[in-house]
Chains A and B, each alone.
Chain A
Amino acid sequence: MATMIAEATGQAILTEEHKQSFLRKYIFSTDHKVIAIQFLFLTLFFLMIGGFLAMMMRYQIAWPDQPIPLGGIFPESMVASGYILPEFYNSLVTMHGSIMVFLAIMPMLVGVYANYLIPLQLGAHDMAFPRLNMYSFWIMIPAGILTLSSFFVIGGAAGAGWTLYAPLSARPDLTGVALGQQMWLASVVLIGLSSIFGSLNYITTVINMRAPGMTWFRMPLTVWALFITAILGLLAMPVLSAAGIMLLFDQTIGTSFFLPEGGGQPLLWQHLFWFFGHPEVYILILPAMGFTSEILAVGSRKPIFGYKAMVWAIISIAFLGFIVWGHHMFQSGMNPALGLTFTISTLFIAVPSAIKTFNWMGTMWRGNLKLHTPMLFAIGFVAMFAIGGLSGIFMASTPVDIYIHDTYFIVAHIHYVLFGGSLFALFGAIYFWYPKMFGRMMNETLGKIHFWLTLIFFNLVFFPMHGLGMVGMMRRIYDASGYRHLEGIADTNALITWSAFALYASGFLFAFNFFWSLWRGKKAADNPWDATTLEWQTPSPPKHGNWAEVPVVYHGPHEYSHPGVTDKDWLAQNERPDVPSPAGGH
C-alpha cells in the first residue's frame, strides 16, 4: 500500500517535471527540496534580524546612560535623541523572542529539515501533499511582512513579551501598542496555519510513503524526531491560534476572556499559552536532537548507541511535554497545590533527556571520531544542551524557582537550550546537509573557525547570565540602575554585550561561507560523509522526484563499522541484502 502510493505520486511528479515553467520550478514550487531551500533563506534572514534586535537590547543593558551609535537613523518613536526609549526596548524584547521562535528557529528546524529530509530519508519521491507544502511556505511571507512592518505602525511593535501575558497584551490603553499587537497576533495565526499544514504533511508522509523495507525501527532518528515533532505541532499550534484569536477579540471587539473587569481571567491566557508553549519547547529541541544523533553516528563511525531507547525517549518527551506547562506558572498565583504535580512531571521529563545525553556519549565511546565541522557542532550541542538541561533542574524545584523565576537565570537557561541546543544543532545540520542541498561543500576551515568563535562567545554571553540571575537581576528590565541588589553588575553586563557583538559578528563569517560556497565551494560527491541513510545514495543535489527508482531498504539507519563489511566502514540502508543486520537496529 505504502509503496503503491509512493510510486503513484512519484510517477505523477516525474512526468510533470517537463512542463514546469521557471516560476513553477523555483518560486511556486511543489518540490519539497525547493520549498526546504526557500525556508532556509527565509529563516536565515530572520535569524539575522532577530540577532540584530538582541544587539540593540544588549547595548541598552550594558550602557543605559550612553546614546546608541547611529541612533539618528531610527525614528523618534524608537530612539529619541540617541537613547533607546523604554517602550521600544519592550518591543525589542518581545520581537527578538517572537522572531527567533516563530520565524527563525522553528521554521528552520521543521520547515527546512522536515521538508528536506523526510522524503529523502524515507525513500519517497516527495511529500504526500506537495501543494499544501507549497502553501505552508507562502503563508510565512505575509506573516513575516506583518511582523517586520509592525515596527513602523503607530504605537510600534508588540511590547508585552513574546509570552504576551494578558491584561498587558489585551489592553492597548496600558501599553500604547494597539495595531502592533494585533499584527503580531495575525502573524502568529498565519504561522500556526503554516505549521499545521506542514505537520499534516509530515505525519502523512511518514506513515504512508516509506520505501519498501523502511520499517518504523529502520527510520533514521532524524525522521523519528521530525515525525513526533509534527504530532506535537499539530496538537499544540491550534491552541495558540485559538488563544491568539481570543486575545485579538479582547483587544478589538470588547470581549473579556482574559480581562477581570468583564469577568475574565488573566491566568487563563497563561494556561492556554503554555499548554501550547511547552510542547513548543520540544518542537524546538526534538528535531535538533534528531540531527545531532544522525551527525554523531556518522562522525563517530558507529551505530547510534541505544537506538530504540532513543526512539522511546523522543516519544516519552512528547507525551510528558503536554503535562508540564504549569512549571512556567509556579509564581503566577495559581493554586500552589498544583505546584507539586508540575514539579514531578517536570523532573520526570528530564529523564529522557538524560537518557539521550548518555546515549550520545555512548555513541562516541570507542568510536573513530571524525572531527569535521558538523561533528563539532553536534558535540557542541550535547555539551551545551547538557548545561541547559541541568540549569532547568533549579527551576523545577519550586522553592528555588521562587527566587530565580523571572531573573536572568531563566534567560541563561532558555538560551542554553535554544541557542546552545537548537541553533548549534542547526549549524551542524546546515554544514552537514549543505552538499546534498546545493551540490557543493562549505569551506571546512571557515566552518571550524565559525564553530570555535560561536562556542567561545556563546558561553561568554550566556554563562555569566546565571550569575546575574543569582544576584537577582530581573528579566526584561530596561535599566538596572537604581536597585541596591544590582549594584556591581555593570562589568558583567559590559562583558556580555561585547561578547554578544562578537557572537553576532561570527554569524557573518558563517553567512559569508554559506553564500561563497554556493558558487565557489568544492563540488560535493553524492556521499561526502560516507553516510548510510538514503538521502546520500542519490545524486547531490537530488533530481526532481529524488530517485530514478525507489530504493529498497535492508538495514537499520546507522550501520557503521559493521564487522560483515570489510571494504569500507559503512553499509548503506539500501545495499547488500546478504549482510545480516541486527533486527530492528538492535
Chain B
Amino acid sequence: MDWALPPNYSTHGVVIDQLFWIIFWLTAAAFVLVEGGLLWFIFKYRSREGQKAHYTHGSNKLEVIWTAIPVLVFAVLGAYSGTKWAEIKNASGFPPDALQFQVVGKQFEWNITYPGIDRQLGTADDFTVLNQFHFPVNEDIVVNLESEDVIHSFFIPELRVKSDAVPGMVIPVWFDSRQAGEFQIACAELCGLGHYRMRASVTVHETADYEAWLASQATAQ
C-alpha cells in the first residue's frame, strides 16, 4: 500500500497539503540530524581502551544557537499556519453566496438537509436525505453542522475537511470540490458502538447534473 495522502480535490486541500509537505521536509531534516548524530556519536565515542571523556559543562553559545533557530522556524511556521487557518475556518470570511446545507449527525447516521432549487435553507422546498450528500462542483459549500446526541466528526478525506458536530452548537464549515467524484463522509470522533460504520456517500456533480438530481428529488418528495 502507499503511505500517502489521498488525492486532493479541494481548494483548501492545496494549502493543507503544501503545509504538510513543508513540515515533512523540515522534520525530515531534523530527523536526519538527530538520528544520524546519535548513530555517529555511538560509533565514534563508544568506550575503548584508554579513552577519556572530554570534561565540559556545555556552551552558552551553542545554547543560544539551538534555542534561536527553532524559535525562528516556529515563529514563521506559526504565523503562516495561523493565517491560513483563519482563512479556512473563520466564519466571518466565508463567501456570502456559498451554497448552504444543514448536516445533522446522529448515532449512527448523517442527515443532510438540502436548500432545494431556490438555494436557500429554511424555505419550503428544503428536503432531507439520509446518508447521501450531493453537491455541485466548483462551488463554495458551507455546511452547518449539528448533532442530535453525542459529538461526531464530519470528515471527507479527499476534500481535506474535518470538523466536530457538537450537540447544542451549529458549526459552519466551508469547503469545495474542484472535480466531480464520489467520496464518503466518515465519522472521526468516537460516538458509540456504531462509530466505525457511521458513514455517508458524497457525490460531487457537474453543475447541470446537480440540478437534474435536485429535480429528481423534487419529484420523489
Contact = CB atoms under 8 A, between A and B. Distances in A.
Interface of A: 85-87, 90, 93, 159-161, 165, 167-168, 171, 174-176, 260, 264-267, 300-307, 309, 331-333, 336-337, 339-340, 343-344, 347-348, 350-351, 354-355, 357-359, 361-362, 364-371, 379, 382-383, 386-387, 390-391, 393-394, 396-400, 402-403, 405-407, 464, 466-468, 470-472, 474-480, 482-485, 488-489, 491-492, 560-563, 569, 582, 585-586
10 contacts: A90-B195, A171-B149, A267-B169, A339-B89, A351-B67, A366-B56, A390-B31, A394-B24, A400-B23, A467-B4
B167 A260 contact: yes
B164 interface: yes
B190 A476 contact: yes
B193 A477 contact: no
Contacts of B151: 165, 167-168, 266, 332
Interface string B148-177: 011101010110111111111101000000
Contact of A561 (B19, B55, B70): B55
Contact of A331 (B23, B75, B153): B153
B124 interface: no
B78 A343 contact: yes
Interface residues of B, number: 90
A585 B57 contact: yes
Contacts of A479: 196-197
A398 B2 CA distance: 25
B210 to A, nearest CB: 21
B199 interface: yes
Given A333-B171, A475-B188, A174 B150 contact: yes
B120 interface: no
Given A332-B151, A354-B67, A368-B53, 17 more contacts: A86-B194, A266-B168, A305-B59, A331-B163, A343-B78, A344-B82, A355-B66, A355-B70, A362-B58, A364-B38, A369-B41, A369-B45, A383-B38, A393-B26, A398-B89, A488-B1, A491-B1
Nearest to A357: B34
A333 B30 contact: no
B52 A405 contact: no
A175 to B, nearest CB: 6
Contacts of B96: none
B186 interface: yes
Contacts of B84: 398-399
B58 A393 contact: no
Contacts of A407: 188
A406 B188 contact: yes
B167 A266 contact: yes
A366 B84 CA distance: 44
A263 B199 CA distance: 29
Contacts of A307: 57-58
Contacts of B81: 343, 396-400
Nearest to A395: B23
A471 B190 contact: no
A403 B58 contact: no
A403 B193 contact: no
Contacts of A305: 56-59
B5 interface: yes
B53 A336 contact: no
Interface in B171-217: 171, 182-184, 186-197, 199
Contacts of B31: 386-387, 390
A569 B183 CA distance: 65
A406 B52 contact: no
Nearest to A91: B193
Question: Which of B24, B55, B160: most chain A CB closer than 10 A?
Answer: B55
Which 8 pairs of residues, A with B, have the shortest CB-CB distance?
A: A260-B168, A467-B3, A366-B54, A306-B58, A336-B89, A472-B157, A340-B82, A347-B74
B42 interface: yes
A475 to B, nearest CB: 7
- Secondary structure of the B side of the interface? mixed
B74 A348 contact: yes
Nearest to B5: A470
Nearest to B20: A400
Contacts of B199: 482-483
A400 B194 contact: no
Contacts of B86: 336-337, 339-340
Contact of B53 (A347, A390, A492, A560): A560
B1 A471 contact: yes
A31 B72 CA distance: 49
A149 B82 CA distance: 46
A266 B199 CA distance: 23
Given A343-B81, A367-B45, A399 B15 contact: yes
B62 interface: yes
A333 B1 contact: no
A85 B196 CA distance: 12
Contacts of A406: 153, 155, 162, 188-189
Given A400-B23, A474-B155, A582-B57, A90 B16 contact: no
Contact of B190 (A161, A171, A382, A390): A161
A265 B85 CA distance: 25
B221 interface: no
Nearest to A265: B168
Contact of A478 (B46, B56, B196): B196
A586 B160 CA distance: 50
Contacts of A403: 5, 16, 20, 157, 160, 162
Contact of B41 (A267, A355, A365): A365
Contact of B3 (A332, A348, A470, A485): A470
Given A394-B23, A483-B186, A569 B53 contact: yes
A126 B132 CA distance: 66
Contact of A174 (B54, B88, B107): B107
Contacts of B153: 331, 406
B54 A561 contact: yes
B63 A355 contact: yes
Interface in B1-34: 1-6, 12, 15-16, 19-20, 23-24, 26-27, 30-31, 34
Contacts of A267: 166, 169
Contact of B19 (A161, A399, A464, A470): A399
Contacts of A344: 78, 82
Nearest to B31: A390
Nearest to A463: B3
B35 interface: yes
Contacts of B57: 303-307, 582, 585-586
